[in-house]
Structure 1
Amino acid sequence: MSLFFEDVQIGARYTTSSHEITVAGIADFCRLTLDHHPLHTDAAYAKQAGFPGIIAHGLYGLSLMEGLKTELKLYEESSIASLGWNDVRFLHPIVAGDSVHVEMEFTAKRESSSRPAGIITEAVRLLRSDGKLLINSEHISLIRKAD
């Protein structure tokens, strides 16, 4: 399925599949971003800081949110560009062993003033399997109109 600007319905909601956060995945993000802070690499350090174990980077969670959304294939043929993320809030730590998923909802849309396309706004949330909200954000995208 690929949604074009005309297909986007304000209030439509989507939920992704679940993904398990692993120590190896956090380590991969450390290597990729060069952020090897001990909160992400040293369980004893993280526990001393009040966490149950190593935690994922907030930006790992945000990146994962985009990846999980991509698996929905909503914009396979219509995506032009991400215009940014607004009001990102890291509300609770993401811990190795957590199972997470994304819930998103279309909250606004408007015609682009610079090209024949549309700008859409999504409320995007990362939740743990028990329903705990981990990250809350807003994403803005530029997508094609149907031919």
Structure 2
Amino acid sequence: MDHSLYFEDLVVGQHFESTARTITETDMTFFSMLSGDWNPIHCDQEFAGNTRFGERLVHGAFGIAIATGMMHALGIFEKSAVAMMSISDWSFLKPITIGTTLRLRLTILEAEAGESKRVGRVNRRLELINQNDEVVQSGESDMLILKKLA
């Protein structure tokens, strides 16, 4: 069943929320391998244990990657997304550690039809929320999305 939403389906203020996912040791190790970021705060428990956090932290960029994956998993842009145009004003508000459970809240901030008959621009707020209902990362993302009349 197709759950794709198109430009005309989106309303400023509309919210969508993903299912949750717990971050694992394997997630962090794979991200270190993929990114090449082996900073001791991520991979050295002895080092990280002596920081103010007292434990290893998951890469901040991993949060962005998880947010985009959760956005895809919502299925609402499956057949309608044309291109992500930007990620901006991204804030790292709280640390993500192994065992943190995250979900994504996506809010439509702006919808601009523009002159194209094929696509419109939509700005979205992406918020990664932990198991304590705290926003741990947040930012905005513009996208081009198909119009129904295309």
Asked if TM exceeds 0.5, the reply is yes
Contact 1:99 1:128 in 2 (8 A): yes
- Aligned partner letter, 1:55: L
Partner of 1:15: 17
- Aligned partner letter, 2:95: P
Partner of 2:75: 73
Contact 2:117 2:147 in 1 (8 A): no
Q: CA RMSD in A?
A: 1.2
Partner of 1:100: 102
> 2:110 and 2:37 mapped to 1: Cα distance?
35
> Structure 1 residues 55, 111: closer, same or farther in 2, change over 3 A?
same
Structure 1 stretches of 4+ moved >6 Å? none
Contact 1:88 1:137 in 2 (8 A): yes
> 2:114 and 2:57 mapped to 1: Cα distance?
39
Partner of 2:50: 48
Q: Which SS does the other structure have where 1:130 is aligned?
A: coil
Corresponding residue to 2:135 among 128, 133, 136: 133
Q: Which SS does the other structure have where 2:98 is aligned?
A: coil
Moved more, 115-124 or 59-68: 115-124
Q: Which SS does the other structure have where 1:64 is aligned?
A: helix
Q: Which SS does the other structure have where 1:2 is aligned?
A: coil
The count of aligned residue pairs is: 147
User: What residue ranges of structure 2 are gaps of 5+ in the alignment?
Assistant: none
User: What residue ranges of structure 1 are gaps of 5+ in the alignment?
Assistant: none
Contact 1:52 1:95 in 2 (8 A): no
Moved more, 123-132 or 42-51: 42-51
Deviation by residue 1:22-78 (Cα, 9 ceiling, x = unmatched): 111011000001111111111121121222321111110011001011111011111
Contact 2:23 2:101 in 1 (8 A): yes
Alpha-carbon deviation of 1:115?
6.4
Q: Which SS does the other structure have where 1:76 is aligned?
A: coil
- Aligned partner letter, 1:53: E
> 2:33 and 2:100 mapped to 1: Cα distance?
21
Partner of 1:89: 91
* TM score, norm. by length of structure 1: 0.95
Contact 2:106 2:127 in 1 (8 A): yes
Partner of 1:30: 32
Deviation by residue 1:54-111 (Cα, 9 ceiling, x = unmatched): 1111110011001011111011111110001111000111000111111111010102
Q: Percent identity?
A: 25
> 1:16 and 1:77 mapped to 2: Cα distance?
18
